[in-house]
A and B are shown apart, each in its own frame.
Chain A
Amino acid sequence: MAFLELKGVEKFFGEHRAIKGIDLTIEKGEFVVFVGPSGCGKSTLLRMIAGLETVDRGAVYLEGRDITRLPSSKRDLAMVFQSYALYPHMSVYDNMSFALMLAKTDPALIREKVERAAKILNLTPYLQRTPKELSGGQRQRVAIGRAIVRSPKVFLFDEPLSNLDAALRGQTRVEIAKLHRELNGTTIYVTHDQVEAMTLAHRVVVLRDGQIEQVGTPLDLYYRPNNQFVAQFIGTPQMNMVAGPDVAQFESSLSMPVPSGGYLGLRPESLTLSAPGSGQVQGRVELVEALGAETLVYVTTPGGTQLVARQNNARDLPHVGDSVGLRIDTAAAHLFDSHGRVVAPSVR
């Protein structure tokens, strides 16, 4: 029996069908990430699981129990909000102990739990401060602390890192991963950042327009995307999509033809720069982005297609305007039909 299960869940905003029939099962202890572009419904779905939005059709089961109509306060779920939603008039200690206090837990036990959580999150020196007196990163940790103190059945995170600056974001991401390993709590994490999805998740759920596009482990989605949307959403820089006249020059080297009206997908690392005249494709360098550990080279073919190639160092860089050749690892190519569905997943 799955720990958390969604069956045919739907939601309407007025006439608009925002969530269209979601089926999903989540196992105990799993870290599942909902990812997708803005407006895809990932936050709405999370809030429906939390009970903050009503479920218009379908059902939500937790440990076999139907919680669809149960109010949030009774679901035993903890949520970390994007804006942290700390109680401004209470100290950090009171913020973290609020739920336990409401449940009439023994004060000594509350103290023990709060202090333990504070220690894990390095919040012990701040327990008597109010949220106003804390930095963004500290507030975020209090929000997390408030959740872990309760030992809930499921942790729900709603884009928790989006209000942090880049450096802090990376750091906190690592801490969240460590925290999950320590506590082993079932977690649903919503983000629009696919890097967070790739690094934190056991499984990723890619959503678009209220529907699940694909569910799988991060690497599954990377190497075996079911459709063009997932292929281009996961992985940065985006997978190169080749269509139209240019496809012809590649086709000869592929094991099967590209479906008509379809696309050929090539990850940047499957393109290697070579001397002009060699390789399957020729082109001219438009832009070179030297990031140090790797370099991204933007090449335009005579047919007008722009391709991005990834090179794993900063040596022998071409110059803008140079003519180059590109060698393609055809075994790693993805083929999509005119509806965006994958035709022949590449095999690695």
Chain B
Amino acid sequence: MFRFRFSLTPDGAVGAGAAPVAVPAGARAEVSRFLPRALLAPAVVTLFLWMIVPLVMTIYFSVIRYNLMQPGETGFIGLANYEYFVTDPSFWTAIVNTLLLLGSVIAITVFGGVALALLIDDPFPGRGVVRVLLISPFFVMPTVNALLWKHMMMNPIYGVLAQVWHFFGATPVDWMADWPLMSVIIMVAWQWLPFATLIFVTALQSMNREQLEAARMDGARYFQQLRYLYVPHLGRSIAVVIMIETIFLLSVFAEIFTTTSGGPGDASTNLAFLIFKQALLNFDAGVASAGALVAVVLANIVAVFLIRMIGKNLD
């Protein structure tokens, strides 16, 4: 997709110029160049195909007329598919929804995750159990997650949230109907909060304890420690969390499919769902491909921007 430019740190030896090429540490001097490449080949070849073939096909489909129900009628139509996709009344809503979903979940998981990680960083009774319980939502299947929330939690009559609302004397909210995007955001955030928390907990473990002690002896109070020590240290893992979540959240699909089907109307349609609708509900592969490329471009923009931020931190 895009080339990464990182400065290489020599690992052992990098042969160059007039000097004889040295063998890297740990490697056997007598092994030919062939073996390592042969071992690497299957993985590289399969991933290369996995990357190239869909990409090329998508580009091809996006410029022809191709309906899955009438596969015979094809023809080059230039950028008509793109035009069609972009002028879809739901297009901008989908983009906005996608970004809203992405932004909200990231915000919730990063702030929540950091707060939680700081809370459970120092030992307290039952910490082991807490960690196990906290991580659980992440391993729940997205479809189970969706239905769990849709029925057991958010159902306006029988759901737990409705009961809670009742308890406080308020009228229960009909989540799916009135706040569809928010419902999806809640579900997805619930699922990813543990992931972020786990990452931050791990990162905090690697904090230099002596540095904290030195700061304490220098008279730093908790909030000062937070600002000058914890947050900078967490900076890198926050960046990583944002990057990883962006990659996965751009494709949020199962939750929407299972609960709101993008509705009511297009209130909870995101880019992925819009593409799906075109492809497998309207069977218009051409338009769907155009949309897919839009999604890929969007993903690239976001990822490149983030990669550059992370690139300095990574290794």
Binding site for B on A (CB under 8 A): 11-15, 17, 51, 53-54, 56-57, 71
Contact = CB atoms under 8 A, between A and B. Distances in A.
B128 interface: no
Contacts of B23: 53-54
Interface stretch (B13-21, B47-55, B97-105, B211-219): B13-21
A72 B29 CA distance: 9
Contacts of B14: 14
29 contacts: A11-B22, A12-B19, A12-B20, A12-B22, A13-B13, A13-B22, A14-B10, A14-B13, A14-B14, A14-B15, A14-B16, A14-B17, A14-B22, A15-B16, A15-B17, A15-B19, A17-B19, A51-B29, A53-B22, A53-B23, A54-B20, A54-B22, A54-B23, A54-B29, A56-B20, A57-B20, A71-B28, A71-B29, A71-B30
A9 to B, nearest CB: 13
A12 B12 CA distance: 11
A57 B18 CA distance: 13
A280 to B, nearest CB: 50
Contacts of A71: 28-30
A11 B20 CA distance: 9
A41 B107 CA distance: 52
Contacts of A51: 29
A329 to B, nearest CB: 49
B8 to A, nearest CB: 12
B28 A56 contact: no
Nearest to B30: A71
A56 B19 CA distance: 8
A340 B13 CA distance: 33
B262 to A, nearest CB: 54
A14 B17 CA distance: 8
Contacts of B16: 14-15
Given A14-B10, A54-B29, A56-B19, 4 more contacts: A15-B19, A17-B19, A53-B23, A71-B30
A57 B30 CA distance: 16
A53 B16 CA distance: 17
Interface string B18-40: 01101100001110000000000
A259 B28 CA distance: 51
Q: Considering residues A11, A13, A17, A71, which has the most beta carbons from chain B within 10 angstroms of its beta carbon?
A: A13
Nearest to B15: A14
A137 to B, nearest CB: 27
B188 to A, nearest CB: 42
Contacts of B22: 11-14, 53-54, 56
B185 to A, nearest CB: 48
B197 to A, nearest CB: 32
Contacts of B30: 71
A54 B31 CA distance: 12
A307 B29 CA distance: 50
A325 B125 CA distance: 69
Contacts of A56: 19-20, 22
Contacts of A15: 16-17, 19
Contacts of A57: 20
Interface in B218-261: none
Contacts of B19: 12, 14-15, 17, 56
Nearest to A71: B30
A56 B13 CA distance: 13
A15 B29 CA distance: 19
Contacts of B29: 51, 54, 71
A125 B30 CA distance: 39
Contacts of A12: 19-20, 22
Contacts of A11: 22
Contacts of B15: 14
The 8 A-B pairs at the shortest CB distance, nearest first, are namely A12-B19, A56-B20, A71-B30, A54-B29, A13-B13, A54-B23, A14-B16, A15-B17
Nearest to A70: B30
A14 B15 CA distance: 5
Nearest to A16: B19
A12 B10 CA distance: 14
A146 B20 CA distance: 34
Nearest to B23: A54
A17 B22 CA distance: 12
A53 B19 CA distance: 15
A327 to B, nearest CB: 49
A166 B16 CA distance: 43
A13 B23 CA distance: 9
Contacts of A53: 22-23
A13 B28 CA distance: 16
